[in-house]
Amino acid sequence: MQDSQGVARRDAEIRELHESLSLATSKARDSSRALLAVVRKLCATFEWGFGEVWVPSRDGSALKPGPAWPRANPTYHGFRMISRRLGFRPGQCVPGRVWSERTPLEIADLSTDEAAFFTRRKAAVACGFRSLLAVPILSGDEAVAVIVLYRTTALEGPSARTEAITRAVAPLGPVIARKRVEVELAIRERQQKAVASLGLHALNEATDLERILGEATRVAAATLGVGHCKLLELLPGHDAMVLRAGIGWREGLVGTREVSAGKGSQSGYTILSGKPVIVPDLDRERRFTPSRLLTEHSIVSGLSVIVHGHQGPFGVLAVHAQQRRSFTADDVHFLQSVANVVGTALERREAEEELDEHRRHLETLVLKRTTQLEKSHERLRLAERLASIGTLAAGLGHDLGNTVLPLLCRLDSLDANDLPQRAREDLAAVREAVEYLRQLSQGLRHFALDPEDDTASPRVTSIPEWWATVRSLLRNALPARVELDSRLSDDLPPVVVPAHRLTQAVLNLVANAAEAIEGEGRVRIFADAPRDAGFVRLGVVDNGRGMKARTRRHALEPFFTTKKRGLSTGLGLALVHGVARSCGGEVEIQSAEKQGTMVTLTIPVANRAPDPETTELQLGANVRVAVSLADPRISAYASLLIRSAGGDVEDSPDTEPGDVQVWVTEPGVANADAIRDYLGDDVSRRVILVGDGPGSTTSTTDPRVIMADRRGGPEAMRRSLRQVIFQLLDHSSHELTDTRPLRG
């Protein structure tokens, strides 16, 4: 009877305890507070001195320390600190064994061999503990927690308390499991809100990248509940990373501390592996060597993910804890989401910088093009003014000629009469004046003719006859304070240049000379023909202010001028240069500051044996030529020379010129095999090989290959190429027997 009453009383006590525990757990906001309430109630009810809870990690791989009671007892502080740094896998130590076997475990005396597997026995005994009881809290077949209770006295035999505690906590499993699910859901919700908030912050602070990076590390650390977070940027060379932003690190390290990008750090290993890296315990890590940054801050656990940039990894985002910490798949997804927000901000920043660069480049192009258009409009206006002047000059020359002709006829009629001597002297003076007007009208006609029209006047010009025609025009081009002097050699041979082009070239030189003279001065025109030289030197000399070295170097370039825009076209000396080049001649400028200037035209003489420099080239309309030259200037000149000779040019940037009669190329574009493939067995094909003489890298003995030597600069290249084309024309109607290159 008494036994049955005792059993009923215990059952009532257990029901009362269960109701009390159920009420405490239901009121708790989360599973941790619920378990703390349970262990506190058990310790108070059954007089256990200390109780602790072990709960599965979020990934379910091990047990981690949970709440303990009493929390602030200094006697148990050392034992509690040791426990907080530990974790147990299934079957390991007391909590692990109870977790895996899902049955209670009682150790009556910790000093016996029965407690040998209890790894913390020494620390427990040092705190005065003599026995313990470990009880699982089950939810179905899963142990959602393990409660371990300690007391300072040994247990004597099977205890009714063990059964009572086991029965009291048994129904709590589903409640604790539900609390755990609620916590996980709350964590996920908090993580999602954190990512959304960070994304909004990145949009609002798009121009301040440093603030975005700093906010990303703060959000990651706060959301995951860790004390350290870092964002490392991969440096050029990809052998190191710098701490770009972070939280929890010693002052002065952000922006300066570097870590290895290889296996010398967790972040470096993350880059190498290409996937997230979880480190439960840094001391047991074997995949990489912990960096000094982590060891200096007593880091135990960590999680790291890659921050992807526009053209590859930007760096690594990582969180770290100073105690053992497990990270779940949800944690990995959250941290990767934060890293993706950072990567998107980086890509947006790069895109904005590229857009800014494109905008600045476009503005520069527009400004440049606008300037070019303004200059072109100015040149067009000047050209129109020159055309108007030319039209006026042509009209004046024509009207003056029409006026002079009747005067000359009447003078001839008077001269046939028998006049007194005084009248004849007056008549001679009038004739001289009229002759001056006639010469002036012819000079104006020469000035007004199109300088590009070689048919406007005969191609061959007699210098003495030309001088007699234009002397008056040139004299009138000079101010009264400047004297015109001439020194022309006797017996000058005819030259290959139209008279009107020569007039315009010399008139430009005389006008330039007059402008260079300040006050009184002298302009001299000279012409001589060195013996057997094959050319005539015609020059204009002044005693003006001379040219600076830079002006002399650029004087022959089109539109180059030292005068204000609107006062000069910059085409005068360029026209002179064009006249000389068109007839196979040259222009030479000798000048120095305060020492005057001499400009000399070298003009080939007429009626000589054919010469590549003076003979007009005629390839014929049916000759097709491919040009494959790397230097655009040489390529443009060769194409111009071939077109002026009547050939048809086809640009061919590669080593397959196509079906053409002549291929102009160079060793850097075509090798010997390409040349042999092109020539084949066709005896009518030719190759002009532009190289550096006999030492060129492409060598061949085929007589159909003719060398053009480009050594000596652009002018030497021009003469050499012209001679080679002349040689090619000469070979086109004769058997090829000599393939030695001609050099200018």
Pairing mode, strands 686-691 and 705-709 = parallel
Measure Cα distances from 416 to 149, 410, 411, 591 in Å.
155, 10, 9, 54
- In sequence order, the β-bridge partners of residue 626 are 650, 663
- SS3 string, 225-282, reads CCCEEEEEEECCCCCEEEEEEEECCCCCCCCCCEEECCCCCHHHHHHHHCCCEEECCH
274: left (phi over 0), alpha (psi -120 to 50) or beta: left
Mean pLDDT is lowest, of 226-240, 625-639, 700-714, for 700-714
At a CB cut-off of 8 Å and minimum separation 6, what does 503 contact? 443, 446, 447, 466, 469, 470, 473
- SS3 for 359? helix
Give the DSSP per-residue string, 619-662: --TT-EEEE--SSHHHHHHHHHHHHHTT-EEEE--SS---S-SE
Percent pLDDT > 90 in the chain is: 16
> If you ran DSSP here, which 8-state letter would residue 477 be given?
T
Q: CA 260 → CA 126, 248, 287, 299, 327, distances in Å?
A: 43, 20, 14, 17, 24
Q: What is the pLDDT of residue 473?
A: 78
Q: SS3 of 185, please?
A: helix
From CA 669, how far away is CA 671, in angstroms rounded?
7
pLDDT (0 to 100) of residue 431: 74
3-class SS at 117? coil
Does residue 614 surpass a pLDDT of 60?
no
Residue 425 has pLDDT above 50, yes or no: yes
- pLDDT at residue 741 tops 50: no
- The dihedral through the CA atoms of 486, 491, 497, 498 has a sign that is positive
pLDDT surpasses 70 at 9: no
Which of 173, 48, 43 lies closest to 99 in space, CA to CA? 173
Residue 324 has pLDDT above 50, yes or no: yes
Each residue of 115-137: pLDDT tens digit?
888 989 888 988 889 999 999 98
Over range 95-103, report the average pLDDT. Answer: 92
Burial grade of 14 (CB within 10 A; 0-12, 13-18, 19 or more): middle
For 689-700, the pLDDT digits (tens) are 887 655 554 556
Query: What is the full DSSP assignment across 432-446?
Result: HHHHHHHHHHHHHHH
Answer whether 466's CB lies under 8 Å from 443's CB: no
Q: For 118-132, 343-357, 440-454, which range has the lowest pLDDT when averaged over its residues? A: 440-454
Q: How far apart are CA 356 and CA 368, in angstroms?
A: 18
- Determine the pLDDT at residue 241: 92
Preceding amide of 276 cis, omega within 30: no
Q: Are 315 and 190 in contact (CB under 8 A)?
A: no
The count of other CB atoms within 10 Å of the CB of residue 415 is: 12
Alpha-carbon gap, residue 509 to 695, rounded angstroms: 43
> In the predicted model, what is the mean pLDDT of residues 542-558?
77
Quick one: tokens of 541?
A: 């000399």
pLDDT at 453 over 90: no
Mean pLDDT to the nearest integer, 489-499: 86
pLDDT of 280 above 70:
yes
Q: Compute the average pLDDT of residues 492-505.
A: 84
- Is it the case that residue 540 has pLDDT exceeding 80? yes
Q: What confidence score (pLDDT) does residue 696 get?
A: 52
Q: Cα 455 to the chain's mean position, in Å?
A: 53
- 479, 521 contact by CB (below 8 A): no
Q: Is 366 exposed, middle or buried (0-12, 13-18, 19+ CB in 10 A)?
A: exposed
Q: How far is CA 175 from the centre of its chain?
A: 62
Give the per-residue pLDDT at 459.
74
**How far is 380 from 632, CA to CA, in rounded Å?**
27
For 300-340, the three-class secondary structure string (H helix, E strand, C coil) is CEEEEEEEEECCEEEEEEEEEECCCCCCCHHHHHHHHHHHH
Name the more confident of 98 and 2: 98
Query: What pLDDT band is residue 436 in, cutting at 50, 70 and 90?
Result: low
Q: Please answer whether residues 466 and 460 qualify as being in contact, where contact means their C-beta atoms are separated by less than 8 angstroms.
A: no
| pLDDT above 90 (res 320) | yes
- For 557, other C-beta atoms within 10 Å of its C-beta total 12
Q: HSE on the CB side for 718, CA within 13 Å? A: 14
Q: What is the pTM of this model?
A: 0.42
Q: Which among 432, 425, 512 is positioned nearest to 472, based on CA atoms?
A: 432
Greatest pairwise CA separation for the chain in angstroms: 188
Q: Which two tokens stand for residue 682?
A: 């066709």
**Residue 568 pLDDT > 50:** no
At residue 447 the predicted structure's pLDDT band, cuts being 50, 70 and 90, is low
3-class DSSP assignment, residue 496: strand
pLDDT band at 408 (very low <50, low <70, confident <90, very high): low
Confidence at residue 179, expressed as pLDDT on a 0 to 100 scale: 75
Q: What is the pLDDT of residue 554?
A: 64
Task: State residue 270's pLDDT score.
Answer: 92
Q: Which of 177, 178, 179, 164 is nearest to 16 (CA)?
A: 164
pLDDT computed for residue 734 by the predictor: 39
User: For 165-175, what is the mean pLDDT?
Assistant: 80
- Which pLDDT score, from 0 to 100, does residue 167 have? 80
Which residues, including other chains, have CB under 8 Å from residue 588's CB and lie 6 or more apart? Answer: 599, 600, 602
Task: Extract long-range pairs of 26-32: CB within 8 Å, 24+ residues apart.
Answer: 26/175, 28/179, 30/179, 30/182, 30/183, 30/186, 31/55, 31/144, 31/145, 31/176, 31/179, 31/180, 31/182, 31/183, 32/66, 32/67, 32/183
Contact partners, residue 4, CB within 8 Å, separation at least 6 = none
3-state secondary structure of 686: strand
Contact 569, 383 (CB under 8 A): yes
Average pLDDT along the chain: 78
Q: How far apart are CA 317 and CA 321, in angstroms?
A: 14
Q: What is the CA radius of gyration of the chain?
A: 52
Q: Give yes or no for residue 743 having a pLDDT over 60.
A: no
3-class SS of residue 137: strand
Non-local CB neighbours of 134 within 8 Å, separated by 6+ positions: 94, 95, 97, 98, 104, 105, 106, 146, 147, 148, 149
pLDDT band at 2 (very low <50, low <70, confident <90, very high): very low
Start-to-end CA span in the chain (Å) = 137
**pLDDT more than 70, % of the chain:** 75
